[in-house]
Each structure stands twice: as structure tokens, then as C-alpha cells.
Amino acid sequence: MTGGTTAAAQNKNNTGQATLSSTAPIASAPAVQHHELLRVYAIYRVAIALVLLGIFTSDIGKGAVGSAAPALYLNTVIAYAALNFGWLLHLRRGAYHASHGQVGVVLGCDILAFLLLIQASGGLNSGLGYLLLINCSVGSMLLDKRMGAFFAAVASLGVIGQQLYNLLADRAETQDIVSAGSLGILLFATVSTLQYLSARIRSANLRADQQSRQAAHLQRLAQQIIERMRTGVLVMDASNKPELINRAARQLLGDQLQPDGERRAELRHIVREWRRDDSRGSALVQADNGSELRLSFANLRRDNGDSTLVFVEDNRKLTQAAQKLKLASLGHLTASIAHEVRNPLGAISHAAQLLSESPTLSEEDRHLTDIICRHSRRVNQIVENVMQLSRRRAAAPQQRDLGEWLRQFLPDFRAGAPAGSRIHLRLPEQPVVARFDPEQLAQVVTNLCSNALHHSELASGRREAEIAVYRHNERDCAILDVIDNGPGVPAEHRDKIFEPFFTTGKSGTGLGLYIARELCEANQASLFSCQTGDNQSCFRVEFAHANRIF
């Protein structure tokens, strides 16, 4: 006996992440699972009742059925037909669902009805006894093994008992007992065979259902992994139409995926050319926002035609990754040098301070010692930054509401900022959640705010800056902008400002923005310079999706 079926259902929570859950029908009694067989059997019962009634009322079966007791036969077949009609209507209203108890009652009525019809037709010679094979066979498939054997035994004992009664009443012969026994053996053999086959079929169906659910689960899991990858994934069919596309590819390619997009033909042309010559490896295309995208290809061979798997990556990030490897080697060397410089630098600074305290020192020499102390402090700051960079701990990202975090951060920042510094905060009504290490985020925002206040003062004389937080709907990510009133980054410096030791000021170390970008990348975020809609200078932190992987 099989219980209620379990169906995998896919739901979506408020973060857009799909989850799996299982639901099963709840009934007061175990439900029969062979709904199609139950429907066919219900129709068969109506049809056989009408056929038996038609044979009796026509000249075709005159003397063949109902010959011994016509009234009993007619009343039985009419009642049987009415019962079958009622049962069929009941099943149709219930979508052909029935409990095992209901099926057992129906089979019992069938066996009783056919025993009465056999008796009314003069015994087994009428051939009606073989119809019990169908009833018992259906019972063995709809019910469990024990109940199937029970109804076969009831039918066999009923037929044999009926023939014994007729033999005692001198209405049957001894050979009729043999026929009844043979029919009983045939009933048990049929039921046993069908139960064995049904068990095999149920086992195969159960395995197939489990494999189907497992395959569906793996498919959903693969879809979720692909959808949340930061690398764009696009599958083009044999006619160069998109079959599958993940969120990152939609964000990177933009209008190139629209049927009426201007560059859709360009993308199709690139895929077509790669299919002709797959030794090309990769191709570069221009995105809508002006960035350069690298397309890599792989062939997916299928029976109904080959598809092409396209990986879409921001070439700017690939270039940054290569640059990062170079800078990593330089960083190890620089850290070693900084460690060696630190001790003699301390001695120089200490000696200059002692020399400046000498009462016999001239004004010119005092000015020179001030230069030594000032530049010693600057070199020491560079050494501290380099040592801090080399000792940087691994990121421990947490999901935080940026607005709430900034409200806690700004009082501490204002307390340590120069007098007259003003930071304006612009937040949306809805919370904006991002995933970042809180301590490292504080270091990044401190650096950006200090930088913004400094350049605003140089441009306007006021130490003012603005922090804006919002969610980018198209890219589905959190954004943090630090905006100043300065002139912005010159075009010739935009590719250099994030390199270590690059500075345009006389007192800067050139490591602040480099460290800030390193911390952002350690938390799967991006830091870059841009202009706002009002042409204000802006440094933008683009966070990864709070639930994004890879």
C-alpha cells in the first residue's frame, strides 16, 4: 500500500531566494493512488451492468442469463446499475479519489452482485463467474496484498459455497464443484500474478519518482547557483537566440539582449563567428555603460542541435585582477623594506627632535630640523600604512542595514574630524542591506569621507561632504556614494588614483584609496570614481548582492 504522494514545490522569500518545501495531501483515511485505474473501473462497472441488463431484456441472451430466477436477476442488475451510476458520479465530484475502505465496500458489492447473478442464471455454466476475475484483479491492484487475497478468498468461497448449496438442493452436479474449485484456483493465481507485477511496477515507479524529484532538486540548485554567480552566463541555441541567462549577464549586457536592441545583431554575429572558428577563444564587446566585456565560449552538444555557452566578464575587473597579482608581489617586497626602514627612521626622527631642543641652534638650523621632523612623520605614516596592509586580516562579512550602520558610524567620525566638518546623510525610506565587514567598511568610509572633506575645502573653503545610500534596481545591489564639492578626478588620473603611492598632494601617502579598494574587493564590492547627475565628484562603493555567491 502506498501513502500520500509528496510534491516538491518551489517558493520565493522576500529576498528573492528560492526555497524548497514539500507538501502532501492530508486525508482521514489512506487514499488510493491509481486514480486512472479507479476511473476506468468505475466506467467498466456501469458498462457491464448495462450490458447484462441489455442481454437479459433482449432476445440475444434469452435462456443464457436469468433463466433460473428472472426476478432475482432483474432486481439485482437494476440495483447494481444504479449503485454503479451513483459511485461514478461520486468519484467524478472527488476527482476520482477514494479511500481503501470505500474501494473495499465497492468490491464486496461487486462480488455479492455477481454471486446473485450467477445463482439467478443457473450456476457457473452461464459464464458469469469469470467476471469475478476482473473484480479480484482490480482489487489486487487498488489495495494491498493482504486485502487482494482476502477478496479472492471471499469470491472463491462464495462460488464454492453456492455450488455446494445447489448440489444439496439437487440443482447442480458434482462436476460443478470441480468447476467452482478451478475458478477459485484461477482467482488466486490471477491475483497473485497481478500483485507480483503490481509490486514490481510500484517499485519501479517509486524509484522513477525519487529520481525525478532528485533531478528536479539538482536542476533547481544548479539554477540558483548560476543565477547568483557574479560571472555572466548565457546560453544561445542553434538559431542564436538566448535560451538561458543569469542576472549578472542581464546586468552586464543590458540592451544587447533585447530583441530590438541595436547591438543584438553584434552579439549574434560574434557567436556565429565563434561557431565557425572555435579557436578564437574569446571576444571583446562594449557594454551600454562604456565598460569593456570579455566573452568566453564553450560548445554544448545536444541531440536537437548544438548550443553555445557564453561566459560574460567585466574586462576591467580581469585587468584589475592581473594588476593585483603584480601589486601583491610588490607589496611583499615593500613590506620588507618598510620593516627595515622603520628602526633607522625612528632614530633619525628622535635625533632631529633632540637637536631642535638645543638652545644654541640658529633659526636656519631650526627650520631644517622642522623639515626633517615633518618628513620623518610622513615617511613613518607611509611605513605604518604599508605594515597595516601587509598585516590585514581576512574579511568577516555581515549583512547590515547601511542606513543604521551609518547612523552609528558618523558620530564617531565627526568626533575625530577637524572642526567645521559637516557630513550630510541621504537615506531612502526602505532599508538597504549590504554584506561587508563592519570594521573594514568603517576604514573605507573614513578614508573616503576624509578625502571628500579635504578636496571640498580646497575647492570651496568649506569642509562639507555628502553620503548617499540607495539600491540600484537594474543591478540589484546596494550603492554607497561619498560626494564632495571638489573639481573631480582629472581624466588622466582616473586609472592611477587606486595605484599604491600615487598622490597629487604634498602631504598624502598615496595609499588611502589603494587600501580602500583592496578592502572593498576583499568583501566582493567595487570602488570607483564617477560623476553624479549634478556633475559632482563622487567615489562609489557598489556592494555585491547580499545573498550572492561566487
Instruction: Give the residue from 374, 390, 406 where a domain finishes.
Output: 390
d(CA 265, CA 12): 35
Q: Are residues 164 and 210 in the same domain?
A: yes
Is there a single domain that holds both residue 266 and residue 167?
Answer: no
Residue 9 lies in a domain: no
C-alpha cell at 498: 587606486
Question: Of 124-138, 408-422, 445-459, where does mean pLDDT reach its minimum?
Answer: 124-138
pLDDT band at 34 (very low <50, low <70, confident <90, very high): low
- Shared domain for 537 and 428, answered yes or no, is yes
Does some domain include residue 77? yes
Measure the CA–CA gap between 186 and 183, rounded to whole angstroms: 5
pLDDT, position 390: 59
| Domain count for the chain | 4
Of the CA atoms within 13 Å of residue 56, those in its CB half-sphere come to 25
Which residue, 254, 279, 314, sits at the end of a domain? 314
Domain of 386, in residue numbers = 319-390
Whether residue 25 is contained in a domain is answered as no
Asked if residue 334 has pLDDT above 70, the reply is no
pLDDT band, residue 330 (cuts 50/70/90): low
**Are 530 and 422 contained in the same domain?**
yes
336 shares a domain with 262: no
Pick the most confident of 120-124, 355-359, 449-453. 449-453
Residues 298 and 192 in one domain: no
What are phi and psi for residue 466, nearest 5 degrees?
-135, 140
- Per-residue confidence (pLDDT) for residue 165, from 0 to 100: 80
Instruction: Say yes or no: 538 and 415 in one domain.
Output: yes
8 A C-beta contact, residue 9 and residue 21: yes
pLDDT tier at 305, thresholds 50, 70, 90:
low
Q: For the domain that residue 262 is a member of, what is the CATH number? A: 3.30.450.20
**Does residue 550 surpass a pLDDT of 90?**
no
All three cell numbers of 257: 539582449
The answer to whether residues 209 and 264 belong to one domain is no
φ, ψ (nearest 5 deg) of residue 7: -120, 135
What are the φ and ψ backbone dihedral angles of 403, each rounded to 5 degrees?
A: -60, -45
pLDDT of residue 63: 67
Element (H, E) at 3: none
Split at pLDDT 50, 70, 90, the class of 323 is low
Instruction: Using the predicted structure, report yes or no on whether residue 23 has a pLDDT greater than 70.
Output: no
- 170 and 48 in one domain? yes
- The pLDDT tens digits for 263-276 are 667 778 888 888 88
Assess contact for 396 and 507: CB atoms under 8 A: no
pLDDT in tens, 129-170: 888 888 888 888 888 788 888 888 888 888 888 788 877 777
Residues 65, 211 within the same domain: yes
Residue 400 has pLDDT above 50, yes or no: yes
**Residue 266 covered by a domain:** yes
Contacts with 285 (C-beta within 8 Å, 6 or more apart), sequence order: 256, 263, 266, 267, 270, 292, 293, 295
Q: What is the pLDDT of residue 25?
A: 38
305: left (phi over 0), alpha (psi -120 to 50) or beta: left
Q: pTM for this structure?
A: 0.44
- Kindly tell me if the per-residue pLDDT of 394 is higher than 50: yes
190 and 326 part of one domain: no
Confidence category of residue 175, pLDDT binned at 50, 70, 90: confident
Instruction: Report the percent of the chain where pLDDT is more than 70.
Output: 82
Q: Is residue 452 part of a domain?
A: yes
| Domain assignment present for 3 | no
Q: Among 16-30, 65-79, 305-319, which is the least confidently predicted range?
A: 16-30
49-71 mean pLDDT: 80
**pLDDT value for 27:** 38
DSSP code string of 344-409? HHHHHHHHHHHHHT-TT--HHHHHHHHHHHHHHHHHHHHHHHHHHHHTPPPP--EEEEHHHHHHHH
DSSP 545: P
Same-domain status, 293 and 163: no
Indicate which CATH number applies to the domain containing 501. Answer: 3.30.565.10
Q: Is the pLDDT of residue 328 over 80?
A: no
Q: What is the pLDDT of the chain when averaged over all its residues?
A: 78
By the 8 A CB rule, do 243 and 223 touch?
A: no
The arithmetic mean of pLDDT across residues 267-294, rounded, is: 75
Q: At 460, list the grid cell.
A: 570651496
| Residue 405, in any domain of the structure | yes
- The pLDDT score that the predictor gives to residue 261 is 56
Half-sphere exposure (CA, 13 Å, Cβ side) for 272?
9
Look-up of cell digits 540558483: 224
Q: Determine the average pLDDT of the residues in 328-353.
A: 74
Could you tell me which residues are beta bridge partners of residue 530? 538
pLDDT at 53 over 50: yes
Task: Tell whether the model's pLDDT for residue 350 goes beyond 70.
Answer: yes
E-state strands within 67-153? none
pLDDT at 507 over 70: no
Residue-wise pLDDT for 98-128, tens only, equals 788 888 888 889 889 888 888 888 778 778 8
b/e sequence 82-92, b meaning 16+ C-beta within 10 Å: ebbeebbeebe
pLDDT score at 408: 92
Tell me what the mean pLDDT of segment 492-519 comes to: 75
Query: Mean pLDDT highest for which of 64-73, 282-291, 440-449?
Result: 440-449
Task: Give pLDDT, residue 274.
Answer: 85
User: Which segment, 173-177, 225-229, 303-307, 477-481, is predicted with the most confidence on average?
Assistant: 477-481
- In contact, 53 and 70? CB cutoff 8 Å: no
Please check the confidence at residue 513 and state whether its pLDDT lies above 80. yes
Lowest-pLDDT range, 74-83, 121-130, 321-330? 321-330
Per-residue confidence (pLDDT) for residue 449, from 0 to 100: 93
Q: Is 10 helix (H, G, I), strand (E, B) or coil?
A: strand
Nearest to 306 by CA among 238, 399, 401: 238
pLDDT reading at 249 higher than 90: no
Q: Report the C-alpha dihedral over residues 360, 361, 364, 366, rounded to 10 degrees.
A: -150
Q: 550 in a domain, yes or no? A: no
Residue 394 sits at φ, ψ, to 5 deg, of -70, 150
Alpha-carbon distance of 285 to 380, in angstroms, equals: 45
pLDDT at 437 exceeding the cut of 70: yes
pLDDT-based confidence at 342, cuts 50/70/90?
Answer: confident
Report the C-alpha gap between 545 and 433 in whole angstroms. 9
Of the three residues 189, 215, 241, the one that is the final residue of a domain is 215
